[in-house]
Chain A
Amino acid sequence: MTVRPATTTLLAAALAWGPSPPAHAADTTITQQLNHWSAQAGAPGDAARGRTFFDARHGGEWSCASCHGMPPTGSGRHASTGKTIAPLAPAANPKAITDTARVDKWFRRNCRDVLSRECTPAEKADVLAFLAALR
């Protein structure tokens, strides 16, 4: 008796939110992203340049590595809240760089946090080349 109303409520609540994208659309790979941003930049991403960029502060308080760790093959830690962040390198985390919308969203937000602007296609290609080369 008590199970059915609860289930109905849960179902109704879930439906009320409408079709929402799954947590991981898995519509891309690190290689596809690297190729895409290299094409946008007009030159292939460079892993060594990406490493330097990833670890640099760019005049602000944080680098990419402040939260993701260096190298980002292990878990990171959010620089202000301390929350654990899953490894960014695809070699260490199969879910990393598998969803285009998430890649775009986090590049946008995190570049603003670190550089106070969005990253250029060349910068994204370099960082992706660095991440792709990590083992």
Chain B
Amino acid sequence: MTPSLNRALLTAGLVLAPLAAAWADGGRTMPLVVPPAYAQECGACHAAYAPGLLPARSWQRILGGLDRHYGTDASLDPATVRQLGVWLEAHAGTYKRVRGEPPEDRITRSAWFERKHRKVEPAVWQLPSVKSAANCAACHAGADHGRFDDDDLRQPAGLTPRQRRAWLD
């Protein structure tokens, strides 16, 4: 990519970022008000993912199978499940890239996720500081707030010098 094109894209990103932030419902940023149960129950074992990262049907299926939640028992009382369901449905992803339901309802299997991370080497995912693609915060400093902008990235510990240079490209 030429430096001038790089600059142009960067400028476009800077201009569009505030718009994306304002686009809370159905977008990928964390809604302004988060039920305490969401942060507590859904943020205990992994980041409290912004509801806009999956479509409503995926969230429904996830809530319907919490006792078998990606290899662990994450079961909750029915009242909390209902409360979280209402909130997730209201804020689920509706914009173009999230409309499709990814395989196994995994954010990390979404076409947009795979495209955005296609340059990340397998060895980087396996670093002890990263461990899993579910560990957004390993690289995305603002992940807990649904901020995934390219200018809000941090390098995970353990990158080789070559990987550090590639990171900057």
Contact = CB atoms under 8 A, between A and B. Distances in A.
A14 interface: yes
Contacts of A109: 72-75
Given A81-B135, A108-B73, A112-B73, A17 B35 contact: yes
B32 A82 contact: no
Nearest to A77: B131
A82 B35 contact: no
B160 interface: no
A108 B75 contact: yes
A98 to B, nearest CB: 14
A13 B132 contact: no
Interface of B is mostly: loop
A1 interface: no
B46 A81 contact: yes
Contacts of B37: 20
B134 interface: yes
A108 B40 CA distance: 17
Given A20-B83, A112-B73, A113-B71, 4 more contacts: A82-B130, A83-B45, A85-B45, A109-B72
A17 B83 contact: yes
Interface string A67-89: 00000000001101111010000
A10 interface: yes
A3 interface: no
Interface of A: 9-10, 13-14, 17, 20, 22-23, 77-78, 80-83, 85, 105, 108-110, 112-113
Given A17-B83, A20-B36, A82 B75 contact: no
Contacts of A112: 73
Contacts of A13: 33
Contact of A83 (B33, B36, B46): B46
B124 interface: no
B47 interface: yes
Nearest to B76: A105
